[in-house]
Each structure stands twice: as C-alpha cells, then as structure tokens.
Structure 1
C-alpha cells in the first residue's frame, strides 16, 4: 500500500511534540513544565505507541492523567495577530473563510468513494482497512493548505495557532480518545446487541431507508448522550450498521463509516456532553449563556443530519 494509517499517527505525534517544544520555550508560561510534559507524552504515544511495551504505554497514560488531575496544565501567553490585520483579512475573504471547513467533509466522502479500489503499481493507494480515516487525514491536510493559501499565512503560523488552541483547551482535547475507549467498552459489553434487539422489535429494518434512518439518527442521538461520535460509532455499527446495512442490504462499508461518523458529529453540535466543543468555547469567549454555542449550531446540525440520511441512502447502495 502507498499510504498507511501510521503516517497520520506519526504526523499527529510530530505536531504534538512541536506543541510541547513551543510550551517549553515559553518562559512566561505558568505551568510550563507540566504542560510540556503532558503534550510531549501524548505525542510520544502517537509516534511510538506500536513499539512501546503495553506496560510502558499504560504508565504514560497514567502520567498524562496525573498531570491533568493535579492541575499541572495551564494556558500561557499568546501574541495575537493585529486586529487591523485580522479585520482586513476577513473583509477580503468574505464567505471564502468557510471553504477550508467545508472541504474536510466533502473531500473525505469523495476520497472514501474514489480511492477504495484504486491501485498504483499494483499496490492499493490507501490502506484498505483504514480508507475513511486516511481520507479524513488527507482532507484535513488539504484544508490546512487551502487555509494557508486563502489567508496568505505560513504553515508555521498554523502551528502557532495549533499551540494556542491546544494550550487553551488543555486536557479536554483528550475527551474524544477517552470516549472512543468508552464506546469500545460498551460494544464489548453487548450494547450493540441490545441496540439491535430494541431496533428490530420496533423498526422494520428489512426496509433499506428505515435502516439508514435508524443508523443516522441513532448515531446522532447516542452521540448526544455519550458526548462524542467516537463513543457512539462502535455501538451503532455493531447494532445496526454491520448486521443490517452491510449484512442484509449489502451496502458500502466505507460510505457507512464516513457518513455515519459525520452524522454523529451532528449530535456533537447539539449536546453539552461534548464539553470540549460546546462548553470550553463558551468559557474562552466569556459568553453569558452557557448554551449559546449549542443554540447557534442546532439548525446547521439538523440540516446536515437530513442531508446525511439522503446521501447515505444514495451513495451506500450504488
């Protein structure tokens, strides 16, 4: 294969180590050493997790938890871009400012469909087991490049902004990984079978569009309850996705995964359980209404959920 999922992990690990280096170099940071250790250990797991002994990886995870739990993280001083420069950039961009964000889901779905059977010199272009994840990674890189092109900023400025955001969000950045593990625990405990039992008892899942709606809406609702689509995905996929969409209706797994996760993200936009997305920004912006972000996102989330259902019913069974 040409592109392996490990490349994405190594890239994420390198970015986190760079954030740790930025933090360590900031002599005004109130929690410089603790924060640098937190991001450095987190990055080390991405870079070398496959080669580290399981016991050592567990010790690193415990160290990360202790650093966060003992309050050794903090936000440093960050130099903002001049206000006039920001205002001038926004006026020039107009609605183009949304293009990098929109590119990520659109390109992810397109690549998931286009490259799953594509080969170069007889080898698969993407790792067949991780087509959707690789498509998402390539889409994020393309979005980053587009953002740099539109704003005429350098990748170095993008990394400085990455450092600033991670520094402000702190341990909440780890919530997706923690909730993904929680989702796997639920799946291993038989939650997927329970979902399948309940769904077959009340829904006609042998009808294709009913199964699609059950999966899409279930992803959104379970995400709202659990706080993250990574936690909902293994449960809904084990309960409805694999046995009905793939097994009974013979759909495309890559499309199911891509649009299913996107449907879960719609639920993320509508729940306070997704603290890192919906509660932390309220605190950072010092908004008087703690649900202001959620209220602003609900119309978009509902519209996207309807579009996702239509796209899945069309693209998954072509």
Structure 2
C-alpha cells in the first residue's frame, strides 16, 4: 500500500501549523500568543499524535481546552485587501468560481469508486480501510490547486483564507472530533446495550419496518442530542442496527451503515448542538435569529428522513 491516512493527517497538521505561524506574526492580534498556541497544539496532534505518549497528547488537549475556556482564543486582524481581491476574482470568474467546490464531491466519488483499480506492483495505491477519506483529501488538494489557478492566487493565500475561516469558527472547529469521541465513549460505556434494552421493551422490533424506523429515527434523534452523526452511529448501530437489522432480519450491513449515517446527517440539520454547521453560519451571515439556519433546514431534513427509511427498507433486504 502506498497512500496511508497518516499522509492526510500530516497535510492537515502542516496547514494548522502554518495558521499558527501567521497568527504568531500578526502583531495586531489581541491574543496572538495563546491563539497561536491553540492552533499549533492542534496541528502537532495531527502531525505526531500517534507517536506521542498518550499522557502528553491528553495534556495537549487539556491545554487547548484551557486556552479556549479562559477566553484566550480570538480572531486576528485580516487585511481587507485580501477580501477585495477575492470579490474581484469572483466577479471576473462568474460561475467558474464554483468549479473548485464542485470538484471536491465529484473527484471524491470518482476516486472512491475507482480506487480498487489503482495498483502499483500489484499493491493497492490507496489504503483499503481509508479509501474515501484519502479520496476526499486528494479532492480537496485538487480543488485548492484549481482555485489558485482560477483566482490567480498562491497557496499561501489559501492558508490565509483558512486562517480567516478558523478565526470565525474558533473552538467550534473541534466539535466533530470531540463528539465522535463522545460516541465511542458512550458505546464503550454500554449505552448501545441500554438503547437495545429500552427499544425491545417498548417496540416490536421483530417487525422489519419497526426496526427500520427505530434505527433511522434513532440516528437522527441521537445526532440532535450529541451534535454529530459520528457520535450517534456507534450507539445506534450497536443497539439496534447490528442485533436487529443485520442479525435479526439478515440485512446488508454496508447499506445500513451508509443510509444510517445519512439519517444522522438529517439530525445534524435540526440541532444547535452542531454549532459549526448551524450556529456559526448564522453568526457569519449576521442573522438576527441564530436558529434561522436550522428552521430553514427542518423541512428538508424531515423529507430526507422519510426517504431514508424507504430506501433502507428496500435496499438493505434485497
């Protein structure tokens, strides 16, 4: 195997360290040392987290929590000329400005599907365990290259815009990882078994449609509570998905996982716990109602949940 997931982590870590460097050199930044330390620690964990002692990694995470919790993480001063240049580029490019964004999902799907055919000396080019993530990383790098070429900018400007976005999001950028970890902790603590016990006590899960609805709606509900589908997935899959849909009704586990995560994403659309998706955009757009994004997404989320239930019942048991 040639390409491993660690390579993608190293790229992310390098970008975060570059953001920390830009923050540290910003003399007008109100919290430049502590903010640079926050992003620097985050980048170091991506670069060398698997090589560091667990105690040291934990101490670094606690240091990041202390920086954010004490209000020492703040946004910096961003040159307005960069934003003006961006607006001029968008005006010049017109619809072409969306091509890099569209390249990300398109290239991710193509690489994910074709990855099994990419081999060197009989060995797969992509790590089979992380094909989709590697495809996403390559697609993002390709989109960055395309954006720089279209906008006639340098990769350094891409890092500056990354810093601008991270400054707007702040500590909320860590929520997906933290909530995914919370899901694993819940699963290890036996929450999945508790869900299974409660479900079997009050629902006739021997009926396939009931089990399907319990899984789909449960994924959405737990995602709304936890704020992330990755956190809800191990709990609902251990509690209902594997014991009832896969073992009990002999369904396809791959279909269950794919549609189950999609159902969780429906919950993401309807919860303020997913702050980086729903609260931060409202703040960036300066909306008077901080829940306006959620309210606009609820009809779509409910319609998708109904479609997911039908698809799961149809595709999983073919």
Normalising by structure 1, report the TM-score.
0.83
Q: Give the C-alpha shift of residue 120 in structure 1.
A: 4.1
Contact kept? 2:169, 2:276, Cα under 8 Å? yes
Q: Which moved more, 1:121-130 or 1:286-295?
A: 121-130
Q: How does 1:235-314 map to 2 (within 5 A)?
A: 235-247=235-247, 248-253=249-254, 256-306=256-306, 308=308
Q: Give the C-alpha shift of residue 129 in structure 1.
A: 2.8
Contact kept? 1:263, 1:305, Cα under 8 Å? yes
Instruction: Give SS of 2:273's match.
Output: coil
Q: In 2, Cα distance between the equivalents of 1:117 and 1:240?
A: 35
- Pick closer, same or farther for the CA change 1:316–1:166 going to 2, 3 Å: farther
Contact kept? 1:227, 1:272, Cα under 8 Å? yes
Q: In 1, Cα distance between the equivalents of 2:84 and 2:25?
A: 25
Aligned length: 315
Q: Match of 1:194?
A: 194
Q: Which moved more, 1:304-313 or 1:185-194?
A: 304-313
Larger Rg computed on CA atoms:
2
Contact kept? 1:132, 1:258, Cα under 8 Å? no
Q: In 1, Cα distance between the equivalents of 2:204 and 2:146?
A: 44
**In the TM superposition, what whole-angstrom CA distance separates every residue of 1:215-241 from its partner, at most 9, and x where no partner exists?**
343322211111112211221222233
Q: Which runs of 5+ in 1 are unaligned?
A: none
Instruction: Give SS of 1:86's match.
Output: helix
Q: In 2, Cα distance between the equivalents of 1:107 and 1:299?
A: 29
Q: How does 1:1-318 map to 2 (within 5 A)?
A: 1-80=1-80, 81-83=82-84, 86=87, 89=90, 92-94=93-95, 100-101=100-101, 104=104, 108=108, 111-115=111-115, 119-148=119-148, 151=151, 153-200=153-200, 201-204=202-205, 207=208, 211-247=211-247, 248-253=249-254, 256-306=256-306, 308=308
Q: In 2, Cα distance between the equivalents of 1:157 and 1:181?
A: 32
**In the TM superposition, what whole-angstrom CA distance separates every residue of 1:39-74 from its partner, at most 9, and x where no partner exists?**
001111111011111111111111111111222111
Q: In 1, Cα distance between the equivalents of 2:214 and 2:108?
A: 23
Normalising by structure 2, report the TM-score.
0.83
